[in-house]
Amino acid sequence: MGLDIAFWVLAVVSVGAALAVVLMRDIFRAALFLVLCFFTVAGIYITLSADFLAGAQVLIYVGAIGVLIIFAIMLTRESRRGSPSGRLRLPALLIGLLFLVTMVFVVVSTDWHVIAELPTEPTTTAIAQALFSGEDGFVLAFEIAAALLLAAIIGAIVLVREK
């Protein structure tokens, strides 16, 4: 029961914050609403009993990406011009609604085989075992992710370096 109430509150707040991101004229406020949206999504992970991911969501999205986006807004000083819509506003609305209707139809009409009871184990150990166990683990993907992050850091430095 408590989880249901938490889900509804978090769902309404996250959808409202996401709508504010795309509808707000002031892009600095849009960025703050984006941070709120990420934070509520971390709460939704908790209602899904994904404790480790909720922590990672707060650290990576709320902390790192939120600060990065606010920094970029400050550096580009476009905030007083706002965020106007382009020529594709109506087609974009149509495509978004079409996607939403299709997805809702598919989700509602599919017969999902679910396990209703909550997983009670903490997920951190289970994720670590899934990542690093020798058989069908994700060790290679993990190493590639490390190389990807290094490439992204170097690429970002090269792009913004003063000539």
Partner 1 sequence: MAVGLEHFLILSAVLFAIGLYGVLAKRNALVILMSIEIMLTAVNITMVAFSRYSHVISGQVFVIFIMVVAAAEAAVGLALIIAIYRSRKTVDAEKFDLMKW
The reply to whether 75 sits near partner 1 by the rule CB under 8 A is yes
Residue 112: which residues within 8 A CB-CB, separation 6 or more?
Answer: none
Residue ranges in 120-149 that form contacts with partner 1 under rule CB under 8 A: 123, 126-127, 129-131, 138, 141, 145, 148-149
Q: Which is nearer to partner 1, 3 or 135 (CB)?
A: 3
Task: Tell me the closest approach of the beta carbon of residue 121 to partner 1, in angstroms.
Answer: 9
Q: Which of residues 91-110 bind partner 1 (CB under 8 A)?
A: 91-93, 95-97, 99-100, 103-104, 107-108
Q: Which of 15, 29, 122, 139 binds partner 1 (CB under 8 A)?
A: 15
Q: Are 41 and 56 in contact (CB under 8 A)?
A: no
Angstrom distances, CA of residue 90 to CA of 33, 42, 87, 94, 151: 23, 32, 8, 6, 38
77, 92 contact by CB (below 8 A)? no
